[in-house]
Structure 1
C-alpha cells in the first residue's frame, strides 16, 4: 500500500518567528507542502516564507477574495480560514490536508501515516494546551495540559480560575481535522463536514498524535488575540464560549486592561507546584519536546531564529497598545 502524503494549510497573521517555526516544523514532520495564506497582504514575513522550499504563499488581497467569489474580505476570521482551506482542498495536490492555526503544531512521535491508512473521510487529532511552569523566557517553553477532567477535578485544581476554563482549557477542546481530499468534503474549523453547513462526516480519532496548541505565545500575545475579538464587535465576541468571553469582559471592564489582562493570564496559564502534581496524577500533564531550531536550520538554512518572549513581545507592542486603545474608547459594554 502506498504511503499517503499530506500537507498543511493555515491562514496566518503572526510574527515571522512563529510562522517560520510553524512551517519548518511541519515540513520536518513530513508535510509535502505548507500552504500559508497571509491575512495581511502587506505582511513582510510573506517574502521570507516564499524563499523556503515546500512553502506555498498566498497573499489575501482583494484579488484573492474576488477569485474565491467574495465581493469583499469576509469579516469573520473563521470564514476566511475555511475559504482558504477549501480552496487548497479543491486543487487535490495531496492525499490529505491538515487545517490548523499558526500557533498549533502537529506532534506525532510515531508518525501520522499509520493513522491515515485506516482513517475514513477525516482524521480527528485531539489537542493539548500549553501551560507555563516558570516565568516566560522562550515562546515555546512550558508543558501541555489535556482536557477531559471531571468537573470536581477542575474545581480542585484551578479553584476560582475554573470560571475561565472549558473542560480544563482556556481555548478550544475540539482538536483539529486532517481531511482525505479524494472524498471532496467541506473542511470546517474543527471537523470535516458533508458540505458547508452540513453534518459532520464519520471520522477516526488518532491515539498516536495530538495538536499542541500554544494559546498565546506570551501573555501579551494571548491578550492581544483575545482583545481583538472584542475590538471587532459584539457579534464576534458572542461567538466565543462563555468562559473565554468572561475573561475578555473582565479585562475590558478594568481601569487598566493591560495589568488586568496579564494578571488573568497568570491565573489561567501559570501552574503552581500543587497544580502540576494534581494534573500529573490524573495523567493530564505532558512534556512534548519540539526541536524547532533544528527544523528551521534544516529547511531555512542561514535564517537566524530568536524564540525569546522578549523579542516576540517587542514586535507586538504597537498592535497591543492600539487594540487596548480601541477597547478603552468603546462607549458600550458587551453583555
Structure 2
C-alpha cells in the first residue's frame, strides 16, 4: 500500500485536484494535516474514504506550534511515519505538498529491491503561463547540458542549469518504508546521522509540481507562503522573487495596484516561454485526471486516525528529524500502539 502525508493550506478546488489526482496517480491513502482550521476543506476531506484528515490547530500543537512551515511539515511527516510503524499495512510513505501529484507506476514500485529504504519521484514542473483555461497539462522535465545551453543562448533562461529552468525544487520528492530509524525531510530520506540514504529511482516514478503555474496562482501562493511563517527555506534563485514580493506587499497600495505589480513580478521572474519549449519538444504532456489507479482500502485507517488524535496537545519534538528513536517508541507504547490487543484509542472511546 502506498500512502502520502502532507501539510496543507489551500483552496477547496486545489485540494480536490490534489486528492483526486494523487489517488488516480497511484496512491492508496492520504494523510492530510490542515495547517489551521478551514471548515469547508475539512468537511470535504472528512467525506473521502481514502483520506485521513487532522486539523493542526492550537489544540494539536498544545501551544508549541513551530513558526517555520518547513518544521511543521517535517514533524507531521515523521509523526505519521512513526505511527505507521505500529499501525501496519503501509509499504511506502511519500512526503508531498498540496501542489504536487504523484505519478506512480505500481509495477515499478513493486520492483524496488528490499535493500532500498527510500524511493525518489523525479520532478515534472507545470509550465508557468499568465492563464490556463483549465488545469495545466504541460510540464517541464529536467534537461541535459545541451538543451540547457540551447535555452541559455536563446534567452529563455539566464544560466544553463535546471535550478534556473525550474522555479520550484529540482530534487523531486521522497518516500520511506515506515521505520523509526529513517526520517523524512522535505526532499530526502535520511538516517540517524542525517545522511541521505540511497534512493531507488526508475521511469514511471515522478511527481507533478504545480509551482506558480499561472499569474493568479503566483499571487495566491506567494501570499500564503509569506503568511505561513517568518522563515521559509528557498533556493537562492527564488530569494530574489521573495524579496520583491515582500517589498511590494509592505507598501500601502490599493489592491488593484498591488495586483498589477505582482503580475509584473510574475512576468519578470516566473512566466515561461511556453511556445518555444513546446516547439523544441522539451515538454511532457500529462493529464492527471486520466489516471486509472483504483485505491486500495486501508484496513488501519481508523487506528491511524485515532492514534493521531491521541497525540493532540502532546509535545511533538520526539518525532523530529534524527531524534533518538527510543523516546518516540515510548510515546507510542504509552498510548498502547502496537500492543497486539484491542487498540488503546478504541478502549478509551477515541474516534
Determine whether 1:83 maps to 2:75.
Answer: yes
Query: What residue is the counterpart of 1:290 in the other structure?
Result: 288
Contact conserved, 2:6 with 2:96, CA < 8 A, in 1? yes
How high is the TM-score relative to the length of structure 1?
A: 0.73
Partner-residue secondary structure (3-state), 2:266: helix
For residues 186-244 of structure 1, give each alpha carbon's deviation from its aligned partner in whole angstroms, at most 9, with x where no partner exists. 1100010113x7111122122222110001353222223224445567x625x322211
From 260, 272, 278, give the equivalent of 1:276: 278
For residues 297-328 of structure 1, give each alpha carbon's deviation from its aligned partner in whole angstroms, at most 9, with x where no partner exists. xx9xxxxxxxxxxxxxxxxxxxxxxxxxxxxx
Partner-residue secondary structure (3-state), 2:196: coil
Contact conserved, 1:164 with 1:244, CA < 8 A, in 2? no
Contact conserved, 1:229 with 1:236, CA < 8 A, in 2? no
Residues 266-275 or 54-63, more deviating: 266-275
Query: What residue is the counterpart of 1:146 in the other structure?
Result: 141
- For 1:183 and 1:73, the matched residues in 2 are separated by 23
RMSD: 3.1
Question: In the TM superposition, what are the counterparts of 1:136-285 in structure 2 within 5 Å?
Answer: 136-138=132-134, 140-150=135-145, 152-159=149-156, 166-182=163-179, 184-195=181-192, 198-216=194-212, 218-230=214-226, 236=231, 239-253=233-247, 256-267=257-268, 268-278=270-280, 280=281, 284-285=282-283
Contact conserved, 1:38 with 1:58, CA < 8 A, in 2? yes
How high is the TM-score relative to the length of structure 2?
A: 0.70
- For 1:261 and 1:149, the matched residues in 2 are separated by 32
- For 2:292 and 2:196, the matched residues in 1 are separated by 38
In the superposition, relative to structure 1, how do residues 74 and 117 fare at CA in structure 2: closer, same or farther (>3 Å)?
Answer: same
Contact conserved, 1:121 with 1:183, CA < 8 A, in 2? no
Contact conserved, 2:222 with 2:245, CA < 8 A, in 1? no
Which consecutive unaligned segments of at least 5 residues does structure 2 have?
A: 252-256, 298-351
For residues 9-47 of structure 1, give each alpha carbon's deviation from its aligned partner in whole angstroms, at most 9, with x where no partner exists. 111101111212222222233433211100012442111
Aligned-pair distance for 1:149? 4.1
- For 2:60 and 2:139, the matched residues in 1 are separated by 37
- For 1:229 and 1:63, the matched residues in 2 are separated by 23
- For 1:119 and 1:143, the matched residues in 2 are separated by 35
Larger radius of gyration: 2
- For 2:144 and 2:259, the matched residues in 1 are separated by 31
Partner-residue secondary structure (3-state), 1:83: helix
For residues 149-182 of structure 1, give each alpha carbon's deviation from its aligned partner in whole angstroms, at most 9, with x where no partner exists. 4352341344466699724101111100011114
- For 1:137 and 1:164, the matched residues in 2 are separated by 30
Contact conserved, 1:130 with 1:145, CA < 8 A, in 2? yes
Aligned-pair distance for 1:148? 3.8
For residues 261-313 of structure 1, give each alpha carbon's deviation from its aligned partner in whole angstroms, at most 9, with x where no partner exists. 223434533424234323x2xxx3111122169999xx9xxxxxxxxxxxxxx
Which consecutive unaligned segments of at least 5 residues does structure 1 have?
A: 300-335
In the superposition, relative to structure 1, how do residues 64 and 272 fare at CA in structure 2: closer, same or farther (>3 Å)?
Answer: closer
Residues 145-154 or 251-260, more deviating: 251-260
In the superposition, relative to structure 1, how do residues 119 and 19 fare at CA in structure 2: closer, same or farther (>3 Å)?
Answer: farther
RCO greater where, 1 or 2, for CA within 8 Å and sep 6 or more?
2
- For 2:72 and 2:20, the matched residues in 1 are separated by 23
Residues 6-15 or 183-192, more deviating: 183-192
Determine whether 1:17 maps to 2:13.
Answer: yes
